[in-house]
A and B are shown apart, each in its own frame.
Chain A
C-alpha cells in the first residue's frame, strides 16, 4: 500500500449495528438511558477479547468528562475512561496506584485499558480495582436523572454482579489523598509482563505519632470478588505498633479463618498460603 494512495472505503456486509459513540457526558447518559442494552466501552481491552458478534457498544473513550484527572482537598478524581498509561504519567497518581498500573499487562494494553472498565468488568483479578478497594475509594455513579457516590467496597455484590443501575455509568473514581502513602503491594503472576494475577495483595498502614490510624488489607484473585474485611482490620486501628505486634497472630488467624480461596489455574491451597505469606510480610514490613 503506497502511503499517498487514496484507500478504498470499506464496505461491510454485516447488518447495521446498534453501537453508538458519545461525545460528551450528557450525551452518554442520554444514550445509556434510552438504550440500556448498550455495553459501556471505554478501552475495550476486556470486551474485545470476547468480541461478541451481537454486542452493541456505547463508546465512551472520547468523553472529555471521563478522561480528566483532577484533585480537590480530599480526593484525586480519576475519570473512568482514563487509561492506565494516563494514570502512570499523571503527577496526581499516588504511588500505590502507579505501582499497580505499571504491572498491568503490557504497554499497548495500558494505553487502551481504562480504570472504569477494570472496575466495571467485575473481575476479582482486576489489578486497579484492588487498589481502589484497599484505599476505600468511592465511585461517582451518574445517570441522566441522578447521581450518587458509592464506596467501591459496596459496589461488588457477587461474581460479576455490580450495584449499578441499567441507566448508570461509572463516571469518576474518587481516591482519598491522605493516609495512603505507606502502602504494600504485591502481584503474584506467572510472568513479569502480560500476567493475570494468581494472587494480588494491597495493604495500607497509616501510622501517625506511633498510632495506627488506618489498616487495610485487600486480596485479589482469590474468589468471586476482591476481599476486604474491615472488621478484621479494625483490630489494629487505634493501637500502637507495639500493641499491634501483640495482636499480630490473632489478626493473621482471623484472616486465616476468613479467607477461603477458590481453585483456578492454581490450587486453593497455594492461593491461601500466598495470601497468608503476603499478609505477614505486610505486617512485618511495618515492624509489626
Chain B
C-alpha cells in the first residue's frame, strides 16, 4: 500500500497513510478523534460502532482501513449536520428514546439506513433494520416509535 488509502470522510477527502489492517473504528476514535462512533464489543455483536460506508450500514470494528480505499464513510459527526438528523433527533427526543445514549450514534445511523431504503417502513422493517444495534436501556419500543415518527414528521426528507 505505498500511496496510502484515499477515502471520503463526512465529505472530506482523506489520505490515510497508517496500517491498512487497522480497524476503521480505532482510526476514527484514536487518530481522527471522532469519538461519536462508540466501541462496544469489537466483534460485530452490538452495533455501537455503526457507520455508513457507501450508503450501507457497517460495523466499523470489522472494517480494515485497506478495504475502504475509494469509499465514502459517514459517521455521526458528519450526519449530525443534516436535516435528516434533525428530524430523527426531534423524533427520538419526543418519545424519550435515549437513556444512557451509548447505542444512539449507531442507532441513528441505522435509522437513516432504514428510512433511506424505505421512507415509510412497517414496524417489522424498523425492527429488522435495528436488529444489529443493541440497546440495554430502552427495551427498543421507544426507538421503534421514534423512527416511525421521523418517517411521518420528516416526510419528504427520505
Contacts and interface: CB of A to CB of B under 8 A. Distances in A.
Contact of A85 (B56, B61, B77, B78): B56
A148 interface: no
Contacts of B43: 49
B18 A106 contact: no
Interface stretch (A12-20, A121-129, A162-170): A12-20
Interface string B108-140: 001001000000000000001101110000000
B101 interface: no
Interface size class of B (residues with CB under 8 A): 35 or more
A112 B132 contact: no
Contact of A55 (B21, B34, B132): B21
A105 interface: yes
Contacts of B133: 106
Given A21-B69, A108-B57, A48 B17 contact: no
Interface string B11-29: 1101111111111000100
B92 to A, nearest CB: 19
Interface of A: 1, 3-12, 14, 17, 19-21, 41, 44-45, 47-49, 51, 53, 55-57, 59, 61-62, 85, 105-109, 111-112, 192-194
Given A12-B18, A44-B62, A107-B110, A5 B47 contact: no
Most buried by B among A6, A55, A56, A111: A111
A284 to B, nearest CB: 29
Nearest to B79: A3
Contact of B44 (A12, A14, A49, A59): A49
Contact of A107 (B17, B27, B45, B131): B131
A129 to B, nearest CB: 18
Given A3-B10, A194-B131, A19 B62 contact: no
A49 B44 CA distance: 7
A105 B22 CA distance: 23
Interface of A is mostly: loop
3 closest Cβ pairs, A-B complex: A106-B132, A12-B18, A193-B131
A51 B22 CA distance: 8
Interface string B31-52: 1111000000011110100100
Contacts of A10: 16-18, 27, 31-32
B98 interface: no
A39 to B, nearest CB: 10
B58 A111 contact: yes
Nearest to A192: B131
A106 B131 CA distance: 6
Contact of A105 (B32, B42, B129, B132): B132
B19 A45 contact: no
Given A14-B22, A19-B1, A21-B69, A112 B59 contact: yes
Contacts of B59: 45, 108-109, 112
A12 B1 contact: no
B72 to A, nearest CB: 13
B51 to A, nearest CB: 9
B28 to A, nearest CB: 10
Contacts of A1: 10, 32-34, 77-78
Contacts of B16: 9-10
B64 interface: yes
